[in-house]
Amino acid sequence: MSMLHHPAVQSLVLPWVAALLAMAVLGGWRPARSPRWAGLGAALGLLVALVIFPGFEWPAASRAQKFPWIVLLSVGVAVASVAVLRVQDLRWPLWALGTALWAMASIWLTGGGGGAPAFQSVAWLLGGSALMALVLLPGASPPEAAQKPTPVAGQACISAGAVLAVVAAGQAAMAAMGGSLLIAQLAMALAVVTGMLALWGWLAPDAPGLCSRPALMPLALAWLALAQSLSATVAAGLLRSGLLALALCIPLALRRTGWAMRHPRWVPWLSVLLAAVPVALALLPVWADGAIAPGGAGADTDDPYYRSDWD
């Protein structure tokens, strides 16, 4: 059991194993049999990892304590969207749900809105809504895709998931260099489960619904929560997070090129390579300065969520 407390296990091994098992179980040990449920296993694997580290505590006072509950709520909404609302391929309802969840999470992270200027809260709300749109809106699945799976069906979601994994890894590097190893661990766990979801979706062309919008919604929300928690100021936070989020525009731009139409299966890989550019640009100032004060105005420096010596 002592191995569970090792940072590498908590942020790499445990999320990967938990997500792998969850996707396999939900898909009847073969995700292609029930792709719409199997895809949710990635977010469930992240939840299992959060049970071990940092854990679920209530009342949740710090951002470290709030983050697992935000992920839990978003996973519950994603499950309901598949089981009850049946909005698997309806982009706008999922975007509306994700935006509403982000609005509540963002206000909660800033202490109910009273601890942050109004423009800061509005900036994060609008920025989060735009990022949700980049992840959830592009690439409407044609009606025939649900009836006759094709190798190219679902490539838009796979590309978005692959780039989101790169962005989360960039967030982890930014947090590690900026002095918040806890956020770095959480971001790396998010990158692992998101990357595995996209890769499995790419490897299973007979299951186009595996890497779906409901599966991506809680993962995108988790990244937004980590991005807001890491920002020292609203300007610096939005600039760095904006550079990372710019990577999510790449799959949308590639979809309209002739090359992508001829080679749709390779769009996710090219998207990952191109996404590394804005991620690297976002990391350059952090590498040069070597310091980001996580948490922003009003952050409690005694809170282990903001300390670099939390371990």
pLDDT at position 32, please? 65
Please state the rounded mean pLDDT for residues 171-179.
Answer: 81
What are residue 160's phi and psi, to 5 degrees? -65, -40
Place of tokens 């975007």: 95
Domain segments of the chain: what residues?
A: 2-297
Place of tokens 């983050």: 67
Measure Cα distances from 216 to 65, 147, 179 in Å.
22, 22, 28
Residue 119's pLDDT band (cuts 50, 70, 90): low
Q: Which of 60-64, 89-93, 234-238 is least confident?
A: 234-238
DSSP conformational letter for 31:
G
> Strand, coil or helix: what is 173?
helix
Q: Which of 240, 214, 216, 221 is nearest to 294 (CA)?
A: 240
What global pTM score does this model have? 0.83
Place of tokens 């898909």: 27
Q: Which of 75-79, 100-104, 113-117, 136-140 is least confident?
A: 113-117
The amino acid present at 60, given as its one-letter code, is A
Residue-averaged pLDDT of the chain? 78
What distance in Å separates the CA atoms of residue 231 and residue 106, rounded to the nearest whole number?
Answer: 13
Specify the length of the chain in residues: 311
Q: Is residue 94 packed enough to be buried (19+ CB in 10 Å), middle (13-18) or exposed (0-12)? A: buried
What distance in Å separates the CA atoms of residue 279 and residue 242, rounded to the nearest whole number?
Answer: 10
Angle at 47 between CA 20 and CA 182, to 5 degrees: 110
Token output for 57 = 């505590």
pLDDT at position 279, please? 86
Residue 112's pLDDT band (cuts 50, 70, 90): low
